[in-house]
Amino acid sequence: MAVATPDLLPDIDSDTRTDRQPPYAVILHNDDFNNFDFVVNVLRKVFSYPIEKCVDLTKEADETGRSIVWTGALELAELKADQIHSCGADPRAKNASALGVTVEPLV
């Protein structure tokens, strides 16, 4: 004798799935005012990266004009950019301002 079992799983409508948010990048822009060491120290403070990685990222920004220093969710990318801005300008540099960073979607 066969026993009928009811469907325990609800029907899933494929149109109700949520799309994943694309990753965002925090991009450090080169400037001619803040000292190299200051930029490296800001990256170490905000991201806790090893000094070697901070030096490489700073060199890339210096040589190409920009460097992707972090990728992830939009809210965290905005937080990281704000943290970089909050470090201010290099107090030893003349005419310096806070480091230039932007948050852009990775495509």
Per residue in 5-24, pLDDT tens?
655 655 555 566 677 778 99
Q: Which two tokens stand for residue 97?
A: 């301002």
**What single DSSP character describes residue 61?**
H
pLDDT at 21: 79
Residue 18 domain-assigned (yes or no): no
Tokens of 67: 């460097």
Closest Cα to residue 54, out of 95, 84, 33? 84
Classified as helix, coil or strand, 67 is: strand
Question: Across all residues in the chain, what is the average pLDDT?
Answer: 90
pTM of the model: 0.79
- Full domain range(s) for residue 81: 38-99
Q: Is residue 80 part of a domain?
A: yes
Examine residue 13 and state whether it is found in any structural domain, yes or no.
no
Is residue 15 assigned to a domain? Answer: no
Domain contains 68? yes
Q: Are 105 and 20 in contact (CB under 8 A)?
A: no
Domain count, the chain: 1
Whether residue 31 lies inside any domain: the answer is no
